[in-house]
């Protein structure tokens, strides 16, 4: 999931950011318009819906550099930005790979 922080306001004056989501299993990407009050969990759920995928056991939300965001899922997009999580705002959904 790639997140570029370019804040804009909607018709009601609420701030939002554009989020680019990459699902590493398929390398598919979607763009989401996300409110700053939305949590990482909400963004993650929306990404699955837009991608037409279902969450699998073992899926992880992480920064592009591999830093896990699993302990930060309750943070809002505003908090993610303020706390400088994932410099460059690049997020990914990583699934466990199958083994033999």
Q: What does the alpha-carbon distance between residue 65 and residue 78 come to, in Å, rounded to a whole number?
A: 21
pTM of the predicted model, to two decimals?
A: 0.81
Question: Closest Cα to residue 1, out of 83, 69, 62?
Answer: 62
Tell which wins on pLDDT, 7 or 69: 69
Would you list the DSSP string of the chain?
A: -EEEEEEEE-TTS-EEEEEEEEETTTTEEEEEEEETT-BHHHHHHHHHHHHT----TT-EEEETTS-B-GGGTT-BHHHHHHTT-STT-BEEEE-PPP--
Tell which wins on pLDDT, 67 or 28: 28
Q: What is the pLDDT of residue 13?
A: 64
pLDDT tens digits for 83-99?
A: 888 766 678 999 886 55
Question: Closest Cα to residue 33, out of 9, 61, 67?
Answer: 9
Q: What does the alpha-carbon distance between residue 22 and residue 85 come to, in Å, rounded to a whole number?
A: 17
Q: What is the pLDDT of residue 89?
A: 66
pLDDT tens digits for 57-79?
A: 999 999 888 889 999 999 998 89
Domains of the chain, with CATH numbers? 2-94 (3.10.20.90)
Copy the structure tokens of residue 97.
């790979």
Q: What does the alpha-carbon distance between residue 91 and residue 23 come to, in Å, rounded to a whole number?
A: 9
């Amino acid at each position: 999931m790639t997140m570029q922080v370019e804040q804009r306001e909607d018709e009601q004056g609420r701030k939002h950011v554009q989020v680019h989501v990459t699902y590493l299993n398929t390398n598919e990407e979607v763009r989401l318009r996300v409110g700053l009050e939305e949590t990482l969990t909400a963004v993650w759920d929306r990404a699955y819906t837009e991608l037409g995928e279902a969450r699998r056991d073992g899926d992880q939300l992480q920064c592009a550099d591999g830093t896990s965001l699993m302990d930060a899922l309750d943070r809002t997009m505003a908090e993610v930005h303020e706390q400088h999580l994932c410099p460059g705002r690049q997020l990914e959904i990583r699934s466990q790979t199958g083994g033999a």
